[in-house]
């Protein structure tokens, strides 16, 4: 049975877990924000020790990690960069395959699994001002609208109105959507947050399909280019 190291840093939570096909073995999470760089290596070390797993068989008689799984965006530029850099460093050092999972799809999948929800799910991250990152899936994690950026305007409204069924909006962008739509047809779960554990089920599927990314060339899906602002004087 394969073992995975799961890394989620796309939003405010820094979340790291170990898992196999049946269970989440160990998990560490912090949702205080902007501590990803400080916490991620600590969390990796802690979950590996708690799980009695190692990255290389030669290091001990413990079971090994078979793949590293990372939340690939969209989301916070800094968070994604930290998470993907850590995942790639581990893969290079231990010669492990890397699995990349859409961050919003993982959130939607997690909601469907945890809440036993059957229906349409829109996962959304706040992208500041009147903009969001969003994607829409059904409860089987099948894509209806792939992850993209959107301004809350008539174009976004037309996408939502083209879906006949009620939609559950999840993630930290759901509050902004709720204020824009002002509709009782839909549900809004603004407190449902990203977690490494929501990467597990998709990771298993991709591992069995050998659906890996190139460790050397993989970059997060930022969707929009990142611009450094001018330093205030």
Average pLDDT over residues 182-210: 95
Is the pLDDT reported for residue 32 higher than 90? no
Q: Do the domains 4-102+194-208 and 104-189 sit in the same CATH topology, yes or no?
A: yes
Average pLDDT over residues 193-216: 97
**Preceding peptide of 74 cis, ω within 30°:** yes
- Provide the pLDDT for residue 224: 72
Average pLDDT over residues 101-112: 97
Q: How confident is the model at residue 230 (pLDDT cuts 50, 70, 90)?
A: very low
Backbone phi and psi for residue 139, each to the nearest 5 degrees, phi listed first:
-70, -10
Architecture of domain 104-189: 2-Layer Sandwich (3.30)
Q: What is the 3-state secondary structure (H, E, C) of 180-218?
A: HHCCCCCEEECCCCCCHHHHHHHHHHHHHCCCCECCCCC
* Neighbouring residues of 87: CB distance < 8 A, sequence distance ≥ 6: 5, 7, 68, 69, 70, 98
What's the mean per-residue pLDDT of the chain? 92
- Provide the pLDDT for residue 60: 62
Average pLDDT over residues 65-85: 96
Q: At what angle do helices 154-161 and 174-181 cross, to 10 degrees?
A: 90
Architecture of domain 4-102+194-208: 2-Layer Sandwich (3.30)
Q: Provide the percentage of residues in the chain whose pLDDT is more than 70.
A: 94
Q: How confident is the model at residue 227 (pLDDT cuts 50, 70, 90)?
A: very low
CA 140 to chain centre: 17
Dihedral sign for Cα atoms in the order 37, 42, 45, 50: negative
Q: How confident is the model at residue 229 (pLDDT cuts 50, 70, 90)?
A: very low
pLDDT tens-digit readout, 147-158: 999 999 999 999
Is the pLDDT reported for residue 57 higher than 70? no
Domain spans of the chain, in order of start: 4-102+194-208, 104-189
């Amino acid at each position: 049975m394969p073992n995975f190291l799961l890394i989620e840093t796309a939003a405010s939570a820094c979340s790291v877990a170990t898992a196999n096909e049946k269970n989440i073995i160990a998990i560490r999470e912090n949702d205080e924000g902007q501590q990803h760089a400080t916490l991620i290596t600590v969390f990796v070390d802690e979950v590996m020790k708690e799980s009695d797993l190692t990255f290389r068989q030669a290091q001990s008689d413990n079971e090994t990690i078979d793949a590293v799984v990372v939340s690939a965006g969209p989301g916070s530029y800094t968070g994604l960069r930290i998470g993907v850099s850590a995942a790639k460093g581990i893969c290079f050092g231990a010669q492990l395959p890397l699995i990349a999972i859409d961050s919003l799809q993982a959130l939607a999948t997690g909601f469907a699994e945890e809440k036993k929800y059957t229906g349409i799910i829109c996962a959304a991250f706040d992208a500041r001002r009147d903009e969001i990152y969003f994607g829409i899936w059904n409860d089987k994690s099948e894509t209806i609208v792939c992850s993209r950026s959107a301004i809350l305007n008539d174009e976004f409204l037309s996408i939502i109105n083209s879906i006949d069924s009620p939609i559950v909006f999840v993630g930290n962008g759901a509050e902004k959507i709720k204020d824009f739509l002002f509709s009782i047809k839909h549900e809004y779960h603004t407190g449902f947050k990203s977690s490494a554990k929501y990467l597990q089920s998709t990771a298993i599927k991709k591992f069995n399909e050998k659906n890996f990314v190139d460790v050397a060339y993989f970059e997060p899906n930022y969707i929009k280019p990142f611009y450094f602002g001018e330093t205030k004087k």
